[in-house]
Structures are given as C-alpha cells and as structure tokens.
Amino acid sequence: METNIILAFISSSALLTIMPGPDIIYVLMQSLTNGKKYGIATAFGLVSGIIIHTSLIAFGISKIVKQNETVFLTIKILGAIYLFYLAYKSYKSSSKINLSIKTPKKTLSNLVKQGFIMNVLNPKVTIFFLAFFPAFINYSNVNIKEQIFTLGFLFMLQAFIIFCIVSFLADKMSVFLRQSKSFEKRIQIIQIVFFIGIGIFILI
C-alpha cells in the first residue's frame, strides 16, 4: 500500500478512536476505578475483536468486487449514507461525557474476554468498517484481502496504543473532561466533520 494512504488511514483511525464512545469510555472507567492495568486488559480484549470484523470485511468485499462492481458501488453509497447518519446522530446527541458511572472490579482475564465479546457482538463495528475501509483501498490492486487485513492490523495497533495512553492518563483526563465543557463541544463538532468528510471521500 502507498505511504500516503497508510498515513491518511492511521490519522483518520486515530481521530475516530479518541472520539468519546463506548469503547474508550469503558477503558477510561476501568482505569479510573480499578487501575491502569485493568484498562489495558480491557483495551486488549476490545482490539482483539477487530480481527473478526476485519476478516468478515476482507472476504466479503473481495468476493463482491470480483463478482459485481455495481453491487460494490451500491455498498459504498450505502456506507456513505451510514456515515452521514452517524454525523446526524452526533449533531443531535448531547456533547456531555458522563464519567460518573462506576464499574465493578473484574479479573484481568475476564476483562479481556468481556472486551473481546463486546466488540465481536457489536454489528455496528462491521457496518462501520464496511463504510470506512473502502476509502483507503486500491481496487486496481488484485490483492484486496491483504490490503484490508493490513488496514485492520493498523487500526488495532493505533487503537491499542491510544487506549493504553488513556489508561495511563485517566486521572488527569477525568479532571479535564469534567471541567471543560468547551472541550466536549469541540469533540462533538469534530465527530460531525469527520463522518461527513469520510462519507464524501468514499463517494468521490
């Protein structure tokens, strides 16, 4: 894959990862209430589940491209519409980040398992990857599966690194997030721009 595509993908993925969502909030909660190693264990479980979603996308997209490019174009359009829908949901939702939820303490192995299951059983992850990955794939290259698995690995790597950083900085982040309403609003705006931007990128 070309270096500029990889850099664009990592940048977009990192921006997506740091947006407030169930995964990063859960990692943050475990780190705040139980310690950083519990947050890291949760993060490892969550990113491990990405392997399943990446495999589904890799075999599904490559098969569709080989069989019918019109069908794949339809999927890309639907993916863009889904991203626009996420932008709309971000616009309508509150920008408040709730850090008051307490999480029960679990063993490290249980957190890894729970994180993995949470990710695998969330169909929205597969749907989002199906909408997100096509923007960074070179379809003139016959090795589409390899490209998708590369993107999946890069997504897992950056997500795990960011989750670990969140675990280490959890205490400072929680104080900052509670005190800065403007930060919460900026994150909401970034979400909207990000989803619309990637949706347009996929279409053109």
C-alpha distances in angstroms, 103 versus 34, 132, 159, 178?
Answer: 8, 31, 21, 18
Residue holding tokens 């379809």? 139
How many whole angstroms separate alpha carbon 64 and alpha carbon 45?
30
Element (H, E) at 180: none
DSSP of 134-156, one letter per residue?
A: GGG--TTSS-HHHHHHHHHHHHH
Tell me the two tokens of residue 36.
């950083």
Q: Per residue of the chain (204 residues), what is the pLDDT tens digit?
A: 788 888 989 998 998 888 767 678 778 777 877 778 888 999 999 999 899 888 888 887 656 655 666 766 776 777 678 778 877 876 776 555 555 555 556 788 888 988 888 788 766 677 778 778 878 888 776 688 888 899 999 999 999 999 999 888 876 665 665 555 565 566 567 667 766 776 776 676
